Amino acid sequence: MIYSPHHRRNVSRAGGSGIDPRWDNLVAGWKLDEESDGLGAVARADVLGALELTDNNTVPSTAGLIGNAASFTAASSEYLSHVHDASLNFGSAGEFTIVFWYKYGSTQPRFSKDDGGANRSWVMLNQVFYLFYDGGGPVTTAVGAVPNDGDFHMIAVWWAAGGKVYASVDDGVPTASAGNVATSRDTAAPFWMGRFTTNYAGGAFDEFGIFNKAKDSAWITDIYNGGAGRSYPN
């Protein structure tokens, strides 16, 4: 079943020789493979070379699903960040997909494009994804709990303009927002991985990707890859 009403093929920033078409429309991707003992700040590279993440309060690395992962301790207020970048605003594009792997530690996943004030574009806090829009909002989608079993689990959230916001865990049956969203809010807020205002994540993120297209269920299944995941550019 196709959950996205859009089937057009956009020009991809990820296109080029040796890069699988499944990475079309990628605007930012972080493998989070960098080695860190948590004693000093270690930046995390964007696979496209544009949106390197700053390490705040020394996020250590841990064994990930593929290579290393970034391991966050909520009590230490650890997070990774990037200043505002227009490529992470989706109001004009009218669609997006966010996909990543998470291992539960002490909290469900937390991340945001948010400035801690009125400028909020999108937020994941615990088991809910919030998509803000001008004139109201947010529209919320129940993501579902990441199992607390010591393993990494894949979370995907996707939306196309005029439709519902969908979310799934481990390629399961997606949940949907109660209402449709015509357009999302574009703001100058930064991106925070592992943080929403004063709420910090306790767990590990791996293979975090953001796309400016609403992917379909077949793509979600392909990226999940039977629980083994996939890593850019393969």
* Per-residue pLDDT of the chain in tens (234 residues, 90 and over written 9): 333 333 323 334 444 468 999 999 999 999 999 999 999 999 999 999 999 999 999 999 999 999 999 999 999 999 999 999 999 999 878 999 999 999 999 999 999 999 888 889 999 999 999 999 987 779 999 999 999 999 999 999 999 999 999 999 999 999 999 999 999 999 999 999 999 999 999 999 999 999 999 999 999 999 999 999 999 999
The pLDDT value given to residue 25? 96
Residue 69: in which H helix or E strand, if any? strand 68-72
Q: Could you please state the CATH topology (level 3) that the domain comprising 22-227 is classified under.
A: Jelly Rolls (2.60.120)
> Which residues, at least 6 apart from 36, have a Cβ–Cβ distance to it below 8 Å?
42, 55, 58, 59, 60, 61, 70
- Quickly count: other Cβ atoms within 10 Å of residue 162's Cβ: 13
Q: Which tokens belong to 15?
A: 């296109």
What is the C-alpha radius of gyration for the chain, rounded to an integer number of angstroms?
16
The pLDDT value given to residue 27? 97
- 181 forms beta bridges with 163
The pLDDT value given to residue 12? 42
> What's the order of all strands across the beta sheet hosting 191-193?
54-56, 79-82, 191-193, 110-114, 120-125, 128-133, 136-142
Exposed / middle / buried, residue 40 (Cβ in 10 Å: 0-12, 13-18, 19+): exposed
